[in-house]
Amino acid sequence: MSSKDVSITGVEPTGQYGDVEASRASDHDGDFLTQLEDNNLARGLQQRHIQMIAIAGAIGTGLFLGLGGSIQTGGPLGALLGYATVGLIVCAVQFALGEVAALLPVTGSFVRHAEFLVDPAFGFAIGLNIVYGNLLSVPAEISAICVLFQYWTDLNPSVFICIFIVLTFLVGISFVGIYGEVEFFFAALKILLVVFLIIFGLVIDLGGIPGQERIGFRYWKTKGPFVEYIATGAWGQFLGYWAVMTNAVFSFAGVESLAMAAAETQNPRRNIPKACKKVFARVLIFYILAVLIVGMIVASDDDRLNDYSGTATQSPFVIVASAAGINAIPSVVNAVVITSAWSSSNQALLSGTRVLYGLAIKGQAPKIFLRTTSWGVPYVCVLFNTAFMFLAFMALSSNAMTVFWWLVDLTAAGVLISWSAVLVNHIRLIQAMKKQGIPHSALPFHNSWTRYSSPIALFMCITILLTGGWPTFTKGNWDSASFVSAYLDIPLVLAAFLLWKYIKGTKFVSLADIPIKEALEEVDRHVEPAEPKKTGLGRVLGFLWD
């Protein structure tokens, strides 16, 4: 591996918004796309890659295995409303991310945006939170893979841990285009399985399986559309709905990471906003249809949903298929869930390494993390993240699923913090443009309603974050581990923010001083080519990502 030049050079902005002295570039080195990124990183991700990467991150164990628990907690209608609510929040987050990322398509995405638009200390805190979260996410996913393989074999789990550590490292250290192709393939598998399961569930519900009677909306009527959770009456039903939203946030996690490798994406100002728009629609449709179907075919009080083995046996689709005598479904679902877990570990590695690289560009992480291979991969960042993969060996204990859920719960709040950061960045951008007299329509990608959706979504994110561990405060339900896992991330981010602010003496960026005109000049200077029209087979297959 060869180390390339790690000097950072700011881009001198000139053009329609006025000449700016070269010395001004040093005021925001690393805010725009740096020569370091442009020269040392390779643009190996195409539009279809980032579209499917975001889908791959959002469709995983939360959909295949977690829907049953949501039905148990909130009932069929409560779960449906919970996922729909979070889906709308995701919509606001995606469009906010698209508007800012189209203006500033840099490695690290909203982490670098946070320093540009809010405060250097805020960017450092958010970046550190993502790096730390992904350092734990990769071993968590690998430990989950071990549990999933136990569905088929009693082979020592350490074998699978070693295999998937090596595979994950090889994908992470390879040319980013290889990562894109791997994720593209697995995302296609997951989409096909979801479509199949939705159709399969509908066939079962309508009595299309020989020997099985029609179910219809029977469970909505007999068991009720809502489930009382902790409390009774209407308040208990509302709490069930609210508890589902916390689960839904984990299920949707990953869609915000599609812009992390913006400097490695071809035509990012066109492709990232397009991915934000299209991915939201696909993911929301998949989840809403899946929740609706599951609520129709499985009763909310079905004891089989209490199987916490972590394998496909707890999937509501598997429960119904097994009852119908279709024995192949459990193995198919288990296999795809394994690919989902590995896909998630690959995505966490990409996100964690690119954010760490972005922090190093800003001088917020050691310069050694700026070293890249000859094919444009930050190999020191990859090696650093790989060292933490060996935490997966904690799963060799008898309670492997406890280890997995401990790691997942420990990082769950980070998703809401990331979404909140995306929304804060967007709100600050809109305020700065208004302050400087620049129309919202000047952005490369813009929507008139995002100025209203971002504040509403931010309020919802903060509310869900602060109430994430609310069941522990109810009578007789206190659990120290649950409390810590729900709220540990909040003081960690605050401590990182205050520590960096104290050490560096940073200040909140004045709305009038945010160099939006210079950023818009960058857009004018680097006009992306028009999207070529697809013909033949490419046009036929393109429906998956276009």
Quick check: 267 pLDDT over 80?
no
Joined tokens for residue 258? 């599609």
Number of domains the chain is built from = 1
For the residues 413-417, what does the mean pLDDT come to?
87
Mean pLDDT calculated for residue range 13-34? 40
Is residue 462 in some structural domain? yes
Binned at pLDDT 50, 70 and 90, residue 395 comes out as low
C-beta separation of 157 from 319 below 8 A: no
Listed range (55-69, 158-172, 465-479, 495-509) with the worst mean pLDDT: 55-69
The region of weakest confidence among 44-48, 62-66, 256-260, 462-466 is: 44-48
The mean pLDDT of 251-272, rounded to a whole number, is 70
Coil, helix or strand at residue 405: helix
Mean of pLDDT values over 482-496 = 86
Looking at mean pLDDT, say which of 124-133, 222-231, 255-264, 492-501 comes out highest: 492-501
Q: Which residue from 416, 419, 411 is spatially nearest to 485, judged by alpha carbons?
A: 411
> CA nearest 203: which of 192, 195, 214?
214
Mean pLDDT (the chain, rounded) = 78
Rounded to 5 degrees, what are φ and ψ at 107?
-65, 135
Predicted pLDDT of residue 535: 59
Residue 545 belongs to some domain of the structure? no
Range of weakest confidence among 233-237, 414-418, 434-438, 533-537? 533-537
Structural tokens at position 524 = 């004018």
247 has a pLDDT exceeding 80: no
**Is pLDDT of 18 > 70?**
no
What confidence score (pLDDT) does residue 107 get?
72
Query: What is the predicted pLDDT for the residue at 376?
Result: 80
What is the separation of C-alpha 512 from the centre of its chain, rounded to a whole number of angstroms? 32
Task: Please report the pLDDT score of residue 28 as a whole number.
Answer: 46
Q: How far apart are CA 342 and CA 143, in angstroms?
A: 10
| pLDDT on residue 399 | 56
Is the overall model pTM greater than 0.95, yes or no?
no
CA 378/CA 371 separation, integer angstroms: 6
Helix axis angle for 120-149 and 379-389, nearest 10°, is: 50
How confident is the model at residue 401, as a pLDDT?
A: 55
pLDDT of residue 85: 92
φ/ψ of 261, rounded to 5, equals -105, 40
Residue 30 is predicted with a pLDDT of 52
Residue 30 within a domain = no
Residue 35 pLDDT greater than 50, yes or no: yes
pLDDT at 102 over 60: yes
Instruction: Tell me whether residue 312 is in a domain.
Output: yes
Domain with 115, as residue range(s), is 42-523
Task: Classify residue 535 by burial, with Cβ atoms within 10 Å: 0-12, 13-18, 19+.
Answer: exposed
Burial bucket for residue 23 (CB in 10 Å: 0-12, 13-18, 19+): exposed
Spatial CA neighbour of 255 closest among 187, 311, 174: 187
The answer to whether residue 10 sits within a structural domain is: no
Checking if the pLDDT of 243 tops 60, the result is: yes
pLDDT at 78: 92
User: Taking 80 as the threshold, does the pLDDT of residue 256 lie above it?
Assistant: no
The pLDDT confidence band at residue 461, using thresholds 50, 70 and 90, is very high
- Residue pointed to by tokens 């970046």: 127
pLDDT of 141 > 50? The answer is yes
pLDDT class of 23 with cuts at 50, 70, 90: very low
The answer to whether position 546 is within a domain reads no
- Looking up residue 510, the CATH number of its domain turns out to be 1.20.1740.10
What is the band of 382 on the pLDDT scale with cuts at 50, 70, 90?
very high
CA 133 to chain centre: 11
Evaluate whether residue 102 is within a structural domain.
Answer: yes
Asked if the structure places residue 347 within a domain, the reply is: yes
Q: Which pLDDT belongs to residue 493?
A: 92
Q: How far apart are CA 299 and CA 41, in angstroms?
A: 51
Model confidence pLDDT, tens digit, residues 54-77 = 666 667 666 766 777 788 888 899
d(CA 512, CA 21): 18
Distance CA 206, CA 219 (A): 13
